Structure 1
């Protein structure tokens, strides 16, 4: 009986990938009277509804005045209207931060003043609230709902694997994932796109040569496909490389493929979450706080490559180290993941009282 309105720049993607749910995409293109999240669609979505769910990691203050990148400024603008109209804002499965500037702190407090409930997927969010001395409502530390992703039937996965020619190497397959932001989150901001691609490709070359494995680059956000292709184009042995993208496959299909790699190294947090859900050893290239927070939550805090230290040798050596202990690590992840999955299952129950 619940209809979800989702502001998005890609209505077709939402309609195609979530057609089994009661979801209505709300366009955020210039002809919808907005500059991405700044304009009428977000105002309409937040003020003409019964509840506002803010998910994932969109409350941060980097590039605060750029609506093409930052969401906090626009959400903070409309949050007081929600409060006046008694429309509860729920921070649901969130990771918040970084909040580094006074303007970001002020904006986040405006959002929290209109928020009825916070359900975070890591301890770092509460630490940010407390360290900034922010006032916040009832807060629960739970787990991301993606932890309970269910793989598709075996027949469907066999068809995908056959079509794409995956997992044909008896030595194994390593997963990689990159994203389009490159250095928006790095401290120095001096890491060029070419430097980044060389580092990723160099690490892939090392694991292909030294472990004699194949590699798959997983794309979970369409915007990342271009930089993924730039990285893979630099890998020497092109016949050992595949790209699997959410342009072609649904999130649960990608998760099921991640279950079959020996080790995965990713920038996007949700590739790490899928790995945890499937019991796959992971390495996080931690370019933003939510990835580091998630790794600590699932007991994998040691498996990080800080973005500012990213080199081909550093990442390559981490993948090779993870390869050596992959069975033991996988067993550890499965044990922790079961607890996280139970927490994720309980999260939705917190919303019940807001529908009465």
Structure 2
């Protein structure tokens, strides 16, 4: 499964004195990149794109209008249709674990060709027994337990989706609507932000007598992080892997996450399990596996952390300030009066409240949209699971 974008897999080394730029950086080839896996108990999602050379700073182009199928070893087919540019999605299906599966892809246009992944067994993933957290010094450590009583899993990979509640720097009770300042009807102070963590987290029990994973670390969160200030949730996904997939992802992890110092391993060329049918020598980037997925969600409330009430969290709003618009402003030759505005008639600025002095309404206070409107960083609709 590709996690590092559509880049060529032949990586150059940076010398200690001068950079070495191999010819492949300017290579004109554009190879197919296949990112995703065959989901045995849900929806299969596949991203298709094309590689670009390392000298190009643009986003890799999507591979569109392809025909994609999941095919098993007795010929049954399941369509994986393009739902947005370069993204393909199947119906939710439950696959037979006794069968083997592959992905077949037919591209169109100038680079029309047919590709297929190797037939692979459907790995049945055991349930996540426990997902919890514990203090690890100045960090909140998220950890996981699982086991396979059948002793068939042995190789595991985990991914996780983080969601947290946050508030903007200022709570606005006014909004510009219909050409005037009015009471706010659209809430923009409290939002929820969701991020898919992209690190490759794997573990193996192949060298152990029992197929048991205990307190497997998933991630560590600083005790100052904004994400744990109000309420935080993480959805862990667990996948049982084959030994070849585990080895592929481990090399991918070393190539993308452990490169940068003299003590890190050298970048390695990856060999996936997808090939072009009429030209097996053409590189295709990606490893298509097949497995069921197990999920478990954890919530952490601020009160659970037992931090002092005066505890200071890091904030992206640390530099935010407010401004005042007088209405009327005595210094203006053509003053405006409440409920009209000039400052907050633009989308860049948001009114917060009326500016009042000695009981007199003299104008408005406000700030930039980035400081007031939490939707700049998240969504104001509470998740259904919250």
TM-score bucket of the superposed structures, by smaller chain: under 0.3
What's the TM-score once normalised by structure 2's chain length? 0.22
Specify which structure has the bigger relative contact order, considering alpha-carbon pairs within 8 angstroms and separated by 6 or more residues.
Answer: 2
What's the TM-score once normalised by structure 1's chain length? 0.24
Largest Rg, 1 or 2: 2
Structure (1 or 2) with the greater strand fraction: 2
